[in-house]
């Protein structure tokens, strides 16, 4: 499976969430995707590599993906971006953490908002923003070249849970099949938990959203 240039995955915290460090083509700028619990150790990585953290990117607002927002915001001054559909989730981070017996500082408010009709640019790289509600109202995936940061929308052999507030299994399936599956099948998906996969693999074998699982006719394939 092809590695994404400049993308490094760190699996951290009690939920084993994937936090991604994205280094831009200049070799000087970085973006941190979904800094969750125990992500503070990545500050040392940034300093050791001489990287300027420009963006804190949240694919969605669940606490295991935003727990480090305030830490990195206060220490680096990086800009925070999220989809407005998860504004309420972000504001309730502390109470959500306590449901799991954990403590977390509330996240600062975003500096900018994802918009599906507006690309996200980082260090000269263009990312297409794909709004994929279902796991949460404001979940997004970021597509560039033949890679896709999918957050908790899609996993290897699974999909994000939909039993949390604002979730909907039907909406999630529609998001994946209507917005992700039309992309090139070889696109590598980098999820919020677990190993990488490809869209081809999930369309063929995923027990929740594959063509077989939903009874899609062969001609629906793209």
What is the sign, positive or negative, of the torsion defined by CA atoms of 111, 63, 19, 39? positive
pLDDT at residue 219, as a whole number: 34
* Pairwise CA distance, residues 57 & 79, whole Å: 8
How does pLDDT run across 28-39, given as a tens digit for each residue? 999 999 999 999
| Averaged pLDDT for residues 1-17 | 89
pLDDT at residue 204, as a whole number: 95
Contact between 104 and 93 (Cβ < 8 Å): yes
pLDDT at residue 216, as a whole number: 67
Report the mean per-residue pLDDT for the chain: 93
> C-alpha angle with apex 127: 184 to 125, nearest 5 degrees?
115
Q: Which fold has domain 7-220?
A: Metallo-beta-lactamase; Chain A (3.60.15)
Contact between 173 and 154 (Cβ < 8 Å): no
pLDDT band at 82 (very low <50, low <70, confident <90, very high): very high
How does pLDDT run across 125-172, given as a tens digit for each residue? 999 999 999 999 999 999 999 999 999 999 999 999 998 878 999 999
CB half-sphere exposure, 218, CA atoms < 13 A: 0
pLDDT at residue 217, as a whole number: 54
Where in the chain are the domains? 7-220
- pTM of the prediction? 0.93
Q: What is the DSSP letter of 148?
A: E
Q: Is 167 left (phi over 0), alpha (psi -120 to 50) or beta?
A: beta
pLDDT band at 1 (very low <50, low <70, confident <90, very high): low
Buried b / exposed e along 10-43 (16+ C-beta atoms within 10 A): bebbebebbbbbbbbeeeebbbbbbbbbbbeebb
């Amino acid at each position: 499976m092809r590695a994404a240039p400049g993308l490094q995955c760190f699996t951290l915290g009690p939920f084993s969430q994937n936090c991604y460090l994205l280094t831009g083509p200049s070799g000087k700028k970085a973006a941190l995707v979904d800094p969750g619990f125990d992500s503070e150790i990545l500050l040392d990585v940034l300093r050791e590599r001489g990287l300027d953290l420009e963006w804190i990117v949240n694919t969605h607002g669940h606490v295991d993906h935003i727990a480090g927002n305030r830490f990195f915001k206060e220490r680096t001054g990086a800009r925070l971006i999220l989809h407005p559909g998860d504004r309420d989730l972000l504001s309730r981070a502390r109470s959500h953490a306590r449901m799991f017996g954990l403590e977390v500082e509330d996240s600062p408010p975003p500096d900018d908002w994802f918009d599906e009709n507006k690309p996200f640019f980082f260090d000269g790289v263009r990312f297409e923003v794909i709004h994929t509600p279902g796991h949460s109202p404001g979940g997004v995936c970021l597509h560039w070249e033949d890679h896709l940061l999918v957050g908790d929308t899609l996993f290897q052999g699974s999909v994000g849970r939909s039993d949390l507030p604002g979730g909907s299994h039907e909406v999630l399936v529609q998001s994946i099949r209507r917005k992700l599956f039309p992309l090139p099948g070889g696109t590598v998906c980098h999820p919020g938990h677990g190993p990488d996969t490809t869209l081809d693999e999930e369309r063929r074998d995923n027990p929740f959203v594959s063509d077989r699982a939903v009874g899609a006719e062969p001609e629906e394939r793209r």
